[in-house]
Each structure stands twice: as structure tokens, then as C-alpha cells.
Chains A and B, each alone.
Chain A
Amino acid sequence: MSGVLPPDVEKLFNAALVGELTVVSSSGRPITYPLIPLYDGRYVYLTSAALFSKKLRHIKANPKVCFSLTDPVAVPIQPFARATVQGDAEIIEDDPHSGWEELLPLWRAKEPIIDSFVKKRFGIPLFFERSIIRIDPRRVLYWPDGRTETAPQVFEVSEVGR
């Protein structure tokens, strides 16, 4: 895949089971949420159930977010590296019931059991009323060896690439 992110960062996103979304609250406080990142070469996607919708309200008030990949266990890739992507998030929720299902192919690749959960959505219906968080990357900080005591490589995601 050759997309807007540097190839090595794309590898991290494609391997990551969980990363950290940080949003800014109305009082200016950073709040971080562990989430599964999905990446299609252009945007970073996350989804949020209506059950856990506080982050969605924060993003609607302030779309500036970052998403980091930091955990060697949750990002099973060798050699390990770390990255943080800053960008602008948009909430897509025209159809919370099934709109997010367009991301199922990307989700399934990381969490195959999701298909069996979807089949049993009647058991926990509010979990499957979901919004899509679509992050348009602007800047990437990359630590090739994961050692953040060294300065990161910084990539500005150009308008052309975006």
C-alpha cells in the first residue's frame, strides 16, 4: 500500500491492534482513549459505539486529534517502531446502524472475531450503533527504533498527498 503516510508508518498502522487516540476536552485537557486503528492509505479510521460517545462530543467541539502507536505488544511488528499522527478528525454518523460496516473488511483483518460479534448484535445492540472517526493526517512523528529519547523524524503530510 502506498498512501499518504510514510511506508514504515503504514506498516505500523496495518499491524496495530490497538493505539491511542488523544482528543482535547472543552477545558483544553488532553484525553486519551485506546482504540483499534484502521487505515486505507488515505485516512486513519476509528469507530466508536454510541455507548462510549464522550470522545465523539469532544471531537465535534475540537476536531484536532492525534493517534499514537506506542505499545510493542499491541503493535506486533519487527523491528518495533513508534509513531504519532496529528490530524483533523471528522465524525461520520449519517447511519450509525450500518454505515460503519463499510470498515468491516479492515476491522476483520485485525480482529477476525468481529464477524461473530456482528452476527450476535441483537445481544448488545447499542454497541453496534457506531460512529466513524475519520482522521485526515497532517503531521507524522516517527521513531524508527521506538526510542523516544531520540528526536523523531517529522513528516508533514502534503496537500498533494492528502
Chain B
Amino acid sequence: MSTLTSVEAVRRAASYNHAVLSWVDADGYPNSVGAPFRSNPPSTVVVGPLAEGARPPAGSEVCVTFSHIRPQRGVGYDERRYINLWGTAERDGENIRLVATRATGWDEAETPFFEYAERNVPQARSYLESLGANVRLSRFWMFFLATRLPFLTATIAPVALGGAVAARDGAFHWGWFLLTLLGACAVHLGLNIANDVFDDANGADAANVTPTMFSGGSRVIQYGLVSRGAMVRAAVAFYCLAGFIGVALAATRTLTLLWVGFVGVVLSLVYSAPPFRLVHRGLGEPVTALGFGPVMAVGTYLALARAWSWEPVLASVPVAVLVALILYVNQVPDRRGDAAVGKRTLIVRWPKQRVVATYTALAVVAFAVLVLNVVFDITPAWTLIALLPAPLVLKVRRGLLAHYDQPYALMSYMQDNIVLHFATGTLLVIGYVLSNFFG
């Protein structure tokens, strides 16, 4: 519910089909009655006619409510909106007239329900605290939300690609591969949790009232599901697990892995940790591209082949660019909250047209590199099948142009953008596998 001016409330009231007049009876019980009405701008409403027993006494404070829904058979209803306005009742024949002095309202066409709910999170937490109750979810969903588990596709794609390149060189081993994947996932989950901790500490997540499934952080701290301290401990635990696996791999495979692992962990920390906070400086995309592209692909290749090669570096460039574009697009709904706390991402800095043009240009670069890798015989020709998801670029571009200011309408395009990355990465891997069988 947001405050409206009385003039605006009365203007909007004209679109409703009836009014509900409420007052407090002499016995202390509220009473309310539905009736026809007419609005007399700028701020007068006349409700009635009303029977003698269904009218508030003149001089009493009354609330007039206008409410609308659209029933959806077998589902429920939508198009929710309502207005409340208050004033002092005056008799006007069989009608009640009032001059609105205060008004509030909500229209889900203007403030989507999820944003409306998000704006009330402090109210919910305060109320639950007064009850001594806590918001709860199952352990599975807590883990799922706090770690932002589905985003592991950003790690799985480059690690699988590094493994595919190693397999083509005859160096694949399931045990080492899975251990490497586990270590990379641990860094990623540690990064996700640490990022939430920093965005909670600097107020970015609290300032964001339009989070979606893909943006605005996990919200577990804001909702009171997990304390910031517990999140810090979880991040440390994941980084320790990653460090342990990294050292074990370096000790048994090649010491070069120590350097790659070090770079990966440093990138994951400088992304959002002060004083670096590269994401605040518009450098989140290159950091993400490096970490979730060449670093992971090369690290996996080293763990399997125990030797350096430029092939995983170059082969991973398309997924590196596309993963950076996931971050890039997902920051669109976050931009007001980010700007409010000085998180100057590229999306905050740039106007819409430039953001969309850059998205398109970088996606073209990703697929151009994929083709050039084949042209220069760096990757096998079969990897060209990874061009198949490319049309999704146009779909995401259209979504950005049409729904740039509508976070919830943009969600399906954010999902398409994630699919674009993972499908391209998966098809690159499949291309490598096919090349092993068919040359």
C-alpha cells in the first residue's frame, strides 16, 4: 500500500464500479456498506443513496474503499487494485459526501505483487520478531537459496569444456575430473555466499525491492532465514573445501594448479570484497568472464593433462563472454538498488540503448570467436554445433528492449540468457566428444 494524494485517489476512483463506505458505530463495531458513488474532482466523493440505518452519523470519520479484481475461473483472480480514502462524513440528502483528506492504495499493474511484498519485508520481520517466531524453510531449500545452487551451470560449463579438451588429448580421468569439478563448485558457492554477505553489509540487497529468481541476491539474510554470521561461516567453509581440494590436486597433479587456483580464489574475492569491490567499479563482467571461463577451463585441463595448453583458454572464450553477459543482464533489474548504494555497475553507468547494444555486440563476439577457433583449427569443426543456441541472443535483446523497466516481465529473458550460456557450453563439450568419435 502506498500513499496517494487525495486528488489522485479521487481521480482513480472513477474507474471503479462501486464504493464501500466504512465507519465506526456507536457500539464501537465498525460497519461498512457497498453503494454506488460519484467522484467530484478534485477531492470529493459522494456515496449513496443509502438507507437511514446504513448511513454513518454526520461528522464521523469514514473510510471509502474502492476495490477491483478480475475473477479467473478455476484459478482465482488477478488485476488486483484498491484505494482507501478518508474524510469526514457530511449528509447530502440520502447520500454521504466527504472531502478526502488522506488516501492510500495499491494497483498490481503499477507495483507488481512481488515488489509490493518485498517493500514490506521489514514489516514482516518486525511482526514475526514480536511473536518470537522465525521464518522457516526446509534445510534443502535454505541450502538451495543461500548458495544459489542453480547458478552452478556457470561452473559446470567451463569445467566440462576443460575436461573435453583434455579428453581429446587423451588425458581424461573421471576421478580427477569430478574432484576438480567439486573444487570449482566449492569456489563458486563460496563466491555466491560471500557476495550476499557483502551486498547485505553495504545495503545493496536491502535497497533492491525488485529481486527476481535470477537477480537481487539470495535474500536469505534480508528475509531472516540465515544470519549474516552463518553466511560468513558457510562461505569460509566452501573456500576451505576448495582450498583443500586445490592443494590436493596441485600436490598430486601439477604445482601450476596452485597458481590457477590462487587466481580463481582472488578473482572471486576481489569481485565484491572491499576494498577492491570490482563489481562496484564496473569491472564485474571481465572478472566473471576470466574466472568462469579460462581460469576454470585451464584449471581442469591442468588437473587432467598435467600440462599447459592454450586450447582450453581459447575454447572457453565463448562461454566466458556469455557468462559475463548473464551477470550483465541480471544487473538490469538491480540497477536502482545498486545505484542507491554506489554500486556503479556498467548497467548503472550506461543508458538503456548502450546497454542493449553492448549486449548484442558481446554476444556476436562470443559466437565469432567460436567460429574463428574452428577456422584457425584450434577447436574441432564439430564445435560449430554450439552455434545452435545463437538465435536466443535476438530473443534476449528483444526482451531487454521491451521490458527494461519491468523486472518481472524480464525474468523469462534472463532465463533465456542463462540457457544461452549453458546450451552453448554443453554443445561445445558435445562437439569435442563427437570429434573424438568422428574426427
Contacts and interface: CB of A to CB of B under 8 A. Distances in A.
Given A28-B61, A129-B124, A150-B51, A71 B34 contact: yes
Interface in B137-159: 137, 141, 144-145
A154 B124 CA distance: 38
Given A20-B67, A56-B127, A122-B137, A68 B29 contact: no
A32 B65 contact: yes
A111 B77 contact: yes
B123 A96 contact: no
A30 B123 CA distance: 21
A52 B123 CA distance: 7
Among all A-B residue pairs, the 6 with the closest Cβ atoms: A70-B34, A111-B76, A53-B127, A50-B124, A149-B49, A122-B141
Point out which of B28, B50, B128 has the most chain A C-beta atoms below 10 A from its C-beta: B128
A79 B128 CA distance: 42
Given A24-B24, A150-B51, A152-B53, A97 B117 contact: no
A94 to B, nearest CB: 9
Nearest to B140: A122
B75 A113 contact: yes
A87 B27 CA distance: 12
Interface stretch (B14-22, B332-340, B422-430): B14-22
B135 A125 contact: yes
Interface residues of B, number: 60
A71 B70 CA distance: 11
Contacts of B213: 123
A65 B48 contact: no
B124 A17 contact: no
B63 A32 contact: yes
Contacts, number: 190
A51 B117 contact: yes
Given A71-B34, A86-B31, A123-B213, A32 B121 contact: no
B8 interface: no
Interface string B52-66: 111000000111010
B26 interface: no
Given A29-B86, A86-B29, A149-B94, A50 B127 contact: yes
A112 interface: yes
Interface in A46-70: 49-54, 56-57, 62, 64-66, 68-70
B269 interface: no
A22 interface: yes
B23 interface: yes
B84 interface: yes
Nearest to A97: B136
A34 B65 contact: yes
A139 B53 CA distance: 14
5 contacts: A32-B32, A71-B67, A86-B25, A86-B29, A87-B29
A11 interface: no
Nearest to B55: A148
Contacts of A126: 117, 121, 124-125, 128, 135, 223
Contact of B32 (A20, A28, A114): A20
